[in-house]
């Protein structure tokens, strides 16, 4: 059974340093030149007019308010200890929403209101966070910020009307390094009011588990190794809670495939080149034009939606979907084509968002909030991960003005990966290391590579104190969290 396990990743470029002393020396380097850089920009531009132009480019990108149609969709489940078959005929003990991994897929239509009566039947407090969904502040699931943790035996009702259609997911925001790893995650799909007529709409939640020989979860969480490296990388990847599943489709089908990375730390880079796959949405939001998904990273938290047409007269009947993030590629899943007559799906154009600003001129306005990512010795785990020199317990909130144009900058001074996620808003990547990148889509999570600087543009439309953090659960646990206050 265990021969389907994949070895630990070699972590090629991530192995640059083994010793934390080097991390410290490099992480604590100074940022003076970055400050000079933003001052220069300030002098050369006329920020006011540029800002106004950027805002008008943004206008109409996504709605400020929800438009509830009066329909309520009720769900009810508990988070409970359970046992599931990641491998056929082998039980792995997990914690799971409704006893299943992944938890139930919640599907609603844009305009409908979701109401979930949630019960915590775990031995620990928990909450549910709706990753990527612009929810009212009180529904965001952040303990100590938007709600109190839900104690064992207690219930909580989450209720909100999503503002944006797309692929979202939910997970706990208490002891994430343990609770996500034990299997607590599920998909929330917000369909357009009139969904495109795909012959099939599939969700694949990608995860990886660190299992022992007996197929049970290795239960030391947030280890020194996890923290000083890129978090907990597992040895068993799963798709929808199964190791290397086979998915049967019919010739000629047109499929919408929604990929979600729910792993604690692993980055996936799934290779769909065996099939005709086009990127149509990222982090929930439809792109302004179709894009080539080749080489696209799917960091923890990220989603990628693909439009796939299965050949109607296939030469082969099996296609392997392979992960290529590390040097050691491995199969995620297999798609087989049934030996039946091709089906002829309705023809329709690839979905495209009416408006996603290019915003190249964001670089002409000054940086108004910088998030410097690095580490220091100390804290409960021996190493603390920091944003702007401070861990979560000492953090200073960043402030953004509601409905204003902002340029944020992530500066990774460390040699580790940091998929940075901001709650409550979508942002657009403008440059990587000063080079313009033209992503045709929004994001709520961006992977910041070692020593990389990323500039993003954002116009926050939702007021509140929003958590921002590294989505590598162990880095967040070791302090890499702060708040963005939108007022
Ligand atoms: Cu998936 Cu705080 O996020
Ligand atoms: Cu990180």
Mean pLDDT of 208-227: 97
Ligand nearest to the CA of 260: 1
Neighbours of ion ligand 2 (CB under 5 A): 418, 470, 472, 475
Residue 28 and residue 124 share a domain: no
Name the more confident of 316 and 330.
330
> Residues with beta carbon inside 6 Å of ligand 1?
129, 131, 171, 173, 301, 421, 423, 467, 469, 471
pLDDT at position 1 over 50: no
Name the more confident of 346 and 132.
132
- C-alpha–C-alpha distance, residues 283 and 132, integer Å: 7
Of 191, 217, 246, which closes a domain? 191
pLDDT at position 211 over 70: yes
State which residues form the domain around 361: 16-64+357-486
Residue 368 and residue 325 share a domain: no
Ligand nearest to the CA of 467: 1
Of 167, 191, 215, which closes a domain? 191
Q: 25 phi and psi, to 5 degrees?
A: -55, -45
Residue 55 and residue 95 share a domain: no
Reported for 142-149, long-range contacts at CB under 8 A and 24+ positions apart, including other chains, are 142/173, 142/423, 142/467, 143/173, 143/174, 145/465, 145/467, 145/483, 146/464, 146/465, 149/125, 149/174
Residue 375 and residue 332 share a domain: no
Ligand nearest to the CA of 301: 1
Banded model confidence at residue 47, pLDDT cuts 50, 70, 90: low
Question: In Å, what is the CA distance from 133 to each residue of 74, 141, 279, 361, 475?
Answer: 18, 11, 20, 27, 23
Name the more confident of 248 and 22.
248
Percent above pLDDT 90 for the chain: 86
Residue 363 and residue 320 share a domain: no
- C-alpha–C-alpha distance, residues 408 and 418, integer Å: 15
Mean pLDDT of 213-226: 97
What's the distance, Cα to Cα, between the start and end of the chain in Å? 54
Q: 263 phi and psi, to 5 degrees?
A: -65, 155
Residue 80 and residue 54 share a domain: no
**HSE of 266 in the Cβ direction (CA atoms, 13 Å)?**
28
Q: Give a yes or no: residue 2 inside a domain.
A: no
Q: 66-86: per-residue pLDDT in tens?
A: 999 999 999 999 999 999 999
Name the more confident of 308 and 26.
308
Mean pLDDT of 343-371: 93
pLDDT at position 116 over 80: yes
pLDDT at position 282 over 60: yes
Q: 412 phi and psi, to 5 degrees?
A: -90, 105
71: left (phi over 0), alpha (psi -120 to 50) or beta: beta
Q: Give a yes or no: residue 6 inside a domain.
A: no
- Specify the CATH number for the domain of residue 141: 2.60.40.420
Q: 26 phi and psi, to 5 degrees?
A: -80, -35
Q: 163 phi and psi, to 5 degrees?
A: -95, -20
- Residue 130 CA to ligand 2 center (angstroms) comes to 20
pLDDT for 45 equals 53
pLDDT for 40 equals 39
Q: Give a yes or no: residue 139 inside a domain.
A: yes
Q: Quick one: which atom of ligand 1 is closest to the CA of 173?
A: 2
Q: Give a yes or no: residue 271 inside a domain.
A: yes
C-alpha dihedral (436, 438, 442, 448), degrees to nearest 10: -40
pLDDT at position 261 over 90: yes
Which amino acid residue places its CA nearest to atom 1 of ligand 1?
131
Q: Give a yes or no: residue 231 inside a domain.
A: yes
Mean pLDDT of 270-280: 93
pLDDT for 313 equals 83
- C-alpha–C-alpha distance, residues 93 and 216, integer Å: 6
pLDDT for 26 equals 31
pLDDT at position 99 over 90: yes
Of 148, 167, 191, which closes a domain? 191
Please check whether residue 356 is in contact with residue 61, taking contact to mean a CB–CB distance below 8 angstroms. yes
Mean pLDDT of 98-116: 98
As for how many domains the chain has, the answer is: 3
Q: Give a yes or no: residue 7 inside a domain.
A: no
- Residue 465 CA to ligand 2 center (angstroms) comes to 21
- C-alpha–C-alpha distance, residues 419 and 24, integer Å: 20
Ligand nearest to the CA of 227: 2
Percent above pLDDT 70 for the chain: 90
pLDDT at position 2 over 90: no
pLDDT at position 15 over 70: no
Residue 456 and residue 380 share a domain: yes
Residue 46 and residue 81 share a domain: no
* Residue where the block lists tokens 């489940």: 77
Mean pLDDT of the chain, nearest integer = 91
pLDDT at position 232 over 80: yes
Q: 236 phi and psi, to 5 degrees?
A: -130, 105
Residue 392 and residue 325 share a domain: no
- Residue 327 CA to ligand 1 center (angstroms) comes to 28
* Residue partners of 18: CB distance under 8 A and separation at least 6: none
Please check whether residue 232 is in contact with residue 218, taking contact to mean a CB–CB distance below 8 angstroms. no
* Residue where the block lists tokens 């798709």: 239
Q: What are the structure tokens assigned to 220, written together?
A: 């030391």
Mean pLDDT of 24-44: 34
Q: Quick one: which atom of ligand 1 is closest to the CA of 171?
A: 1
- Residue 475 CA to ligand 2 center (angstroms) comes to 5
Mean pLDDT of 330-341: 95
Q: Give a yes or no: residue 10 inside a domain.
A: no
- C-alpha–C-alpha distance, residues 78 and 119, integer Å: 4
Q: 420-465: per-residue pLDDT in tens?
A: 999 999 999 999 999 999 999 999 999 999 999 999 999 999 999 9
pLDDT for 117 equals 98
Please check whether residue 447 is in contact with residue 471, taking contact to mean a CB–CB distance below 8 angstroms. no
- Residue 472 CA to ligand 1 center (angstroms) comes to 10
Q: Quick one: which atom of ligand 1 is closest to the CA of 300?
A: 1
pLDDT for 56 equals 95
Handedness of CA 377, 398, 262, 145 (dihedral sign): positive
* Residue partners of 165: CB distance under 8 A and separation at least 6: 110, 190, 191, 192, 193, 284, 286
Q: Quick one: which atom of ligand 1 is closest to the CA of 131?
A: 1
* Residue partners of 52: CB distance under 8 A and separation at least 6: none
Mean pLDDT of 380-388: 97
**In what order do the strands lie in the sheet containing 200-209?**
236-239, 200-209, 254-261, 303-309, 276-282, 285-291
* Residue where the block lists tokens 């839900």: 150
pLDDT for 37 equals 31
- Residue 82 CA to ligand 1 center (angstroms) comes to 24
């Amino acid at each position: 059974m265990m021969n389907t396990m994949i070895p630990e990743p070699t972590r090629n470029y991530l192995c640059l340093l083994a010793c934390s002393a080097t991390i410290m020396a490099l992480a604590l380097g100074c940022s003076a030149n970055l400050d000079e850089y933003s001052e220069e920009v300030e002098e050369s531009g006329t920020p006011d007019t540029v800002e106004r132009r950027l805002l008008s480019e943004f206008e109409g990108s996504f709605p400020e308010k929800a438009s509830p149609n009066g329909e309520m969709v009720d769900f009810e489940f508990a988070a409970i200890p359970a046992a599931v078959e990641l491998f056929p005929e082998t039980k792995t003990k997990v914690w799971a929403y409704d006893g299943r991994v992944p938890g139930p897929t919640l599907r609603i239509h844009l305009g409908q209101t979701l109401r979930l009566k949630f019960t915590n039947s775990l031995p620990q407090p928990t909450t549910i966070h709706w990753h990527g969904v612009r929810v009212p502040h009180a529904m965001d699931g952040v303990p100590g910020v938007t709600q109190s943790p839900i104690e064992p035996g207690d219930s909580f009702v989450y209720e909100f009307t999503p503002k944006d259609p797309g692929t979202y997911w939910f997970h706990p925001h208490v002891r994430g390094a343990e609770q996500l790893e034990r299997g607590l995650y599920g998909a929330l799909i917000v369909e357009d009011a009139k969904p495109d007529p795909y012959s099939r709409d599939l969700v694949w939640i990608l995860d990886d588990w660190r299992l022992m020989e007996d197929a049970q979860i290795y239960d030391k969480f947030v280890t020194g190794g996890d923290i000083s490296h890129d978090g907990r990388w597992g040895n068993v990847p799963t798709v929808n809670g199964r190791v290397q599943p086979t998915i049967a489709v019919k010739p000629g089908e047109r499929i919408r495939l929604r990929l979600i990375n729910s792993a604690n730390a692993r980055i996936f880079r799934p290779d769909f080149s065996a099939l005709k796959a086009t990127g149509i949405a990222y982090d929930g939001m439809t792109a302004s034009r179709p894009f080539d998904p080749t080489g696209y990273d799917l960091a923890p938290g990220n989603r990628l939606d693909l439009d796939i047409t299965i050949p109607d007269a296939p030469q082969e009947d099996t296609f392997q979907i392979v992960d290529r993030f590390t040097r050691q590629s491995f199969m995620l899943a297999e798609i087989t084509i049934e030996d039946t007559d091709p089906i002829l799906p309705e023809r329709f154009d690839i979905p495209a968002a009416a408006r996603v600003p290019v915003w190249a001129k964001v670089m002409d306005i000054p940086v108004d909030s910088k998030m410097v990512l690095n580490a220091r010795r100390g804290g409960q785990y021996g190493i603390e991960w920091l944003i702007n020199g401070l861990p979560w317990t000492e953090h200073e909130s960043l402030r953004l003005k509601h409905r204003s144009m902002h340029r944020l900058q992530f500066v990774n001074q460390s040699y580790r990966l940091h998929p940075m996620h901001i709650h409550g808003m979508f942002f657009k990547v403008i440059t990587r290391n000063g080079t313009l990148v033209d992503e045709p889509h929004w994001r709520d999570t961006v992977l910041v590579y070692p020593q990389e600087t990323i500039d993003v543009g954002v116009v926050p439309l939702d007021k509140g104190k929003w958590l921002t953090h590294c989505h590598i659960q162990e880095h967040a646990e070791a302090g890499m969290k702060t708040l963005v206050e939108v007022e």
